[in-house]
Amino acid sequence: MPDDPIQDVLDDADEEMDEAVSYLRSQLRTLRAGRASPAMLENVTVDYYGSQTPLEQVASVSAPQPDLLVVQPFDRSAIEDIERGIMKADLGLNPNNDGEKIRIPIPPLSEERREEIVETARERAEEAKISIRNTRRDAKNEIQRVVEEENLSEDVLYGAEEDLQEITDEHTERAESLLDQKKDQIMEV
């Protein structure tokens, strides 16, 4: 069967689940672990000439030391706007503006703060797993619809549902693995 509608449903579900895992990976990257990382400022937006602009479009961010981020604006006149954007992002960081660049010292994390960040990571991983399960539910309904519409056997239905469950388990494990890696990074002193 060159045009297999059930395989199309499984491929679409696999793709959607991949997107959920990729989104989780990007969300976890913005959470602070023990050392400074430019990804910590990924979600910061700056009010640049009246529009909300992502920080990486108005400045470069580097981490020259494990406890310091340096933001170098492309346009020096936007330095106060960038500083305001970092403060508004509510990351618990205190940027220091020297007129040319913004230095952001990264204070060491307390045990309590580490546990809060781990909890946030858990919540984001759970959101990804919910998205994966929702995709599975939708795909399962679509498979049942195709089987009824095409008058296919129950064996085809059960086989497709098993394949779907394997895809779901694989993506759920990837989400768990990402969470475990991030927890280890955060709790590492």
CATH of the domain at 10: 1.10.132.20
Domain edge (last residue) among 59, 83, 105: 105
| pLDDT for res 91 | 75
Both 99 and 128 in one domain: the answer is no
178 and 154 housed in the same domain: yes
10-residue mean pLDDT series, the chain (189 residues): 79 96 89 76 86 89 88 89 85 84 85 87 95 96 92 90 96 96 83
pTM strictly above 0.75: no
* pLDDT on residue 20: 96
Nearest to 186 by CA among 116, 128, 124: 116
Distances from the Cα of 105 to the Cαs of 19, 50, 68, 69, 70, in angstroms? 33, 28, 5, 6, 9
- Please count the structural domains in the chain: 2
Last residue of one domain, picked from the residues 65, 88, 105: 105
Same-domain status, 101 and 120: no
Domain of residue 175, residue span? 5-29+110-187
Report the sign of the C-alpha dihedral through residues 125, 19, 88, 64, in that order. Answer: positive
Q: How far apart are CA 68 and CA 124, in angstroms?
A: 26
Domain identity same for 173 and 136: yes
User: At 80, which CATH number?
Assistant: 3.30.1360.40
How far apart, in whole angstroms, are the C-alpha atoms of residue 128 and residue 141? Answer: 20
Same domain assignment for residues 175 and 116: yes
Q: How many whole angstroms separate alpha carbon 48 and alpha carbon 85? A: 10
| Residues 122 and 56 both lie in one domain | no
Q: Is 117 helix (H, G, I), strand (E, B) or coil?
A: helix
Q: Are 157 and 144 in contact (CB under 8 A)?
A: yes
pLDDT of residue 160: 93
Q: Which residues pair with 73 in a beta bridge?
A: 59
Query: Which among 105, 137, 156 is the end of a domain?
Result: 105
DSSP classification of residue 50:
T
What gap in Å lies between CA 26 and CA 18, rounded to an integer?
A: 12
Residues 179, 155: one domain? yes
Burial (CB count within 10 angstroms: exposed 0-12, middle 13-18, buried 19+), residue 182: buried
Whose tokens are 């990007």? That residue is 26
Q: Distance (Å, rounded) from C-alpha 89 to C-alpha 45?
A: 8
Same domain, residue pair 178 and 121: yes
